[in-house]
A and B are shown apart, each in its own frame.
Chain A
Amino acid sequence: MKRRTLLATAALGLSVAFAGTAMAQDKTKACFVYVGPIGDGGWTYQHHQGALAVQAEYGDKVEVQWQENVPEGADAERVLTQMALGGCNIIFTTSFGYMDATNAVAAKFPDVKFEHATGYKRDSANVSTYNARFYEGRAVQGHIAGRMTKSNKIGYIASFPIPEVIMGINSYYLHAKKVNPNVELSVIWAYTWFDPAKEADAAKALIEQGVDVIASHTDSTAPLAEAAKTPGVIGFGQASDMAAYKPSPRVSSIIDNWAPYYVKRVGALMDGTYEQADAWEGIAGGEVEIGEITDAVPADVKAEAEAMRDAIAAGTYHPFTGPIKKQDGSDWLADGVTAPDGDLLGMAFYVEGITGDIPK
């Protein structure tokens, strides 16, 4: 009797398990790997908003799964393998440091689509990369920084020395310098994407040395919280709007809007039009948004910044337009020439006027 019950239970269990797999095949499973917590209020939060948009768009037809706080490196490979084995059809890896892990795992699972944010390696046919032209937003910020600084010292809290970050520093500096030839830029490399205490300490170090406009390329709102302690110091929202710090110290922001891309890619996978891609949209494509410029910025500066934003969106202005020299004085772009994407994606040099070296 007991044995029969056991067998019946086992059979029931098996049928449930099979039903489970059958159901999973009906649904498209989209998976997301995050480098920080969703509650960071910045980078990861915005990616998660994109994931939620996918769920909202396709409802019952998709299953969205995500994992937070996945370290870059060997752990990422394990998480990706687990997701691929767990039935994910498309996996978005949302940090630069997942590049090698993504390509390694993708080679083992040719039927699973991989999408790597901000990287450049597409070793197998099932790996796509996507990025946003953050440097366009940095140009607007640099303009505001150059016009707003009173001490002529502006700061940049950088994360890791990768092209995406260096691009941002260069764009920020060029546009500050354009409107304020006396401006000096201090860069601090935090060597982290997310460590609120360290980010706050970095902002504090900058402020103590007379910097009064701080841009950050890390994921939390800590630099703004630190800036709020000192009157007269302003900063920008990074990755997310960070509206809690309006109207000052947060005078504007770069908002990463991943939702349209995620919705498009998952949709393409579902209707069979999916192809390997290398997407790089900016303000024009809606992936980079400039958050509201607050009243802490004088009206004329605000108007100039908005004009620049609109010119970039219209395609009439490219933030890297020559003549631009490299830090060592050699020529990079001749008069009127705009930077080719290849130069930007491999950028490993400062432009002329920035002091200090990029860590190797």
Chain B
Amino acid sequence: MMFGSIDPALLLASVIVASVPIILAAIGELVVEKAGVLNLGVEGMMIMGAICGFVAAVETGSPVLGFVGGALGAAALALVFALLTQYLLTNQVATGLALTLFGLGLSSLIGQGYVGIKPPVTEDVPFGPLADIPFFGRVLFSHDWVAYLSVAVVAAVWWVLRSTRAGLVLRAVGESHDAAHALGYKVTRIRVLAILFGGAMAGLGGAYISLVRVPQWTDGITAGAGWIALAIVVFASWKPWRVLLGAYLFGGITVLQLNLQAAGSAIPVEYLSMAPYLITILVLVIMSSGRGKASLNAPASLGQNFHASR
């Protein structure tokens, strides 16, 4: 089955790969925001993950260690954010923005000696006969392990937030840190852990860009993916599965518009290029109107600093 020269199986497979970095970064940020912290430094953490992952993979020759390195590098940057906002009580918006600028600069510095090097290849997971199933084999069983991990992380976050005590405590901290503190929960410690998780996930997403999607290092390689991830969290109204949906929708339309162009579609290029952003805005408007407003779903203590002075 083909639409013009577009093969839908290849298209869907590309969509899944193109969405992985945004899914990982967005699900991490979702946890951070659920704990009541607004970290706008996703872009900076992603690019730190991209370079640290790249360096680790090139130096050790192992893509798996590369992803570990990416997660650790970005988590280290997130730790800076945690120290500043949770212990020194700096403004979260300003600190987050500064974190992005810092991450972009630092990654460029670390990456000086790594331009033009090829990283070790991340192999696809061997599914054997499953990969030979027509259509579904190509779409579902032809990816590397990180693509599957991204979906697994979404499922895990959904389950933890919904059904576990840890998830309940995390949400309590995000909704009312004073009440959570009064109940004896360590608000600051919980938030720091959430920030570190968010950093690690953003780092994995960044490492995916430099190790799989583009396979190389250049300055500014994430090119705004972190900001898209931030938008996706709002888009998803802080619900894990909607993050997946939002990322696939955004990634899908991005890939589709490039494919339509290559296929020589009659739709003017301007409309195709603006489509991903236009549709994101449209969905945001639809979702935030009427009952179950997206804005009402935001954690009540989002962006507020906490100090146990009372």
Contacts and interface: CB of A to CB of B under 8 A. Distances in A.
B215 interface: yes
B5 interface: yes
A105 interface: no
B214 A226 contact: yes
A359 B111 CA distance: 36
Given A37-B218, A39-B218, A188 B261 contact: yes
B269 A359 contact: yes
B290 interface: no
A194 B222 CA distance: 10
A201 B258 contact: yes
Contact of A209 (B18, B209, B225, B262): B262
B259 A208 contact: yes
B223 A244 contact: no
A200 interface: yes
B255 A205 contact: yes
B117 interface: yes
Given A39-B115, A197-B222, A225 B215 contact: yes
Contact of B258 (A205, A210, A225, A360): A205
Nearest to B115: A39
B221 A196 contact: yes
Interface in B195-231: 209, 213-225
B273 A37 contact: no
A230 to B, nearest CB: 12
Name the residue among A40, A68, A191, A209 with the largest chain B CB count within 10 angstroms: A209
Contacts, number: 119
A41 B261 contact: no
24 contacts: A36-B219, A40-B218, A40-B220, A41-B115, A41-B116, A41-B218, A155-B262, A189-B273, A196-B209, A196-B216, A196-B223, A197-B18, A197-B21, A201-B14, A201-B18, A202-B262, A205-B14, A205-B261, A225-B214, A225-B216, A228-B118, A243-B116, A356-B264, A359-B268
Interface in A163-215: 186-189, 191-192, 194-198, 200-202, 204-206, 208-211
A202 B62 CA distance: 28
B116 A244 contact: yes
A39 B117 CA distance: 12
B14 A204 contact: yes
Contacts of A356: 264
Chain B contact patch, size range: 35 or more
A248 to B, nearest CB: 13
B109 to A, nearest CB: 10
A34 B76 CA distance: 30
Interface of A: 36-41, 68-69, 155, 186-189, 191-192, 194-198, 200-202, 204-206, 208-211, 220-222, 225-226, 228-229, 242-244, 355-357, 359-360
B11 interface: yes
Interface string B9-49: 01100100010010000000000000000000000000000
B22 to A, nearest CB: 10
B221 A205 contact: no
B167 to A, nearest CB: 32
B242 to A, nearest CB: 23
Name the residue among A36, A204, A243 with the largest chain B CB count within 10 angstroms: A204
Contact of A191 (B221, B264, B273): B273
Nearest to B117: A244
A292 to B, nearest CB: 16
Given A39-B115, A189-B269, A195-B223, A200 B214 contact: yes
